[in-house]
Each structure stands twice: as C-alpha cells, then as structure tokens.
Amino acid sequence: MSFDYAGAIQEGYTDEDIANHLLKRHDFDVSGALQEGYSYRDIAQHLAAKDESDSGLFREALDVPVLAAQGATQLVRMGTQAFGADNPVAESLMGVEDYLGSLISAGLPTAAGRDSPDIRGGRRTGCG
C-alpha cells in the first residue's frame, strides 16, 4: 500500500517522522543521504515515491482479472450487437467496459497504444 505523504504532512507529521517511518519498509542510508546534503524532506519524498512504485507490481497483478472481465464483457456485448448496434443492452455493456477500463493501472499499455513487434520492425527498416 502506498504512503500518503501529503496526508501525513497535513496531519502534522514532520519530514523526519515520515522518513523514519518509511525506513521500516525500505533499506536506505539516511545518514549518508544527509551527509550528501539531502534534507529530511528530500528523503521522505523519495521514500514515499519509492513506496508508491513498489505497490505498482501488486496493482499490475490485479490488472489480469480486470482485463479478463473486460474481455468477457466485450465478447457478450459483441453478441448482443447482432440484434442491433444501438440496442440498450449493448450500450449498457459498453458502459461496463469503460468502467473496467478505468480500473486498469496507468502503467499498463492499452491495446490501441502498442504496436506488434512486426510493425515496430517495419518502421525501423522503413517499410511502413
């Protein structure tokens, strides 16, 4: 779970308190960073960002069932569109697809945004 740096500051915790709390989760040389000229604020913000990126792996693992549900919903929607593309069931399912798409983590590329290796290779060689 990621750490809410702004929320901790708002609650009255100091950057030193936050850094000391986050040190329990991360292997980090605070004394070395302080000697290099970094402040507790720099350290706390760095550790909070690292904490957030560490939770990304778990978040991306949760994308798998969401993508499966999105694909199943799309399959059902395409079946209902046999009765007309603008039927209410198909339109409702499009809303469900959009909602499931909003649950996918930002780091995961969408199918529309990525090229197959063949297309990338063709662009490199000037065949596209």
pLDDT at res. 9: 87
∠ Cα 15 17 23 (to 5°): 100
Q: What is the pLDDT along the chain (128 residues), one digit of tens a residue?
A: 567 788 888 889 998 888 888 887 777 888 888 888 888 888 888 888 776 655 556 667 777 888 888 889 889 988 988 888 788 888 888 888 888 777 776 555 544 444 445 444 554 455 54
Please tell me the total count of domains within the chain: 1
Distance of alpha carbon 23 from alpha carbon 107, whole angstroms = 26
Q: Is residue 122 domain-resident?
A: no
Q: Yes or no: say if 101 and 70 are a contact pair by the CB < 8 Å rule.
A: yes
Residue 120: predicted pLDDT: 46
Q: What pLDDT is attached to residue 106?
A: 54
Give the count of alpha carbons within 13 A of 64, CB side only.
4
Domain residues for the domain of 76 are 5-106
Residue 115 lies in a domain: no
For residue 99, being part of any structural domain is answered with yes
Tell me whether residue 117 is in a domain: no
Looking up tokens 């970094």 gives 38
Helices (H), the chain: 5-10, 15-22, 30-35, 40-80, 88-103, 117-125
Domain-embedded: residue 121: no
**In terms of C-beta density within 10 A (0-12 exposed, 13-18 middle, 19 or more buried), how is residue 96 classed?**
middle
* 119 within some domain: no
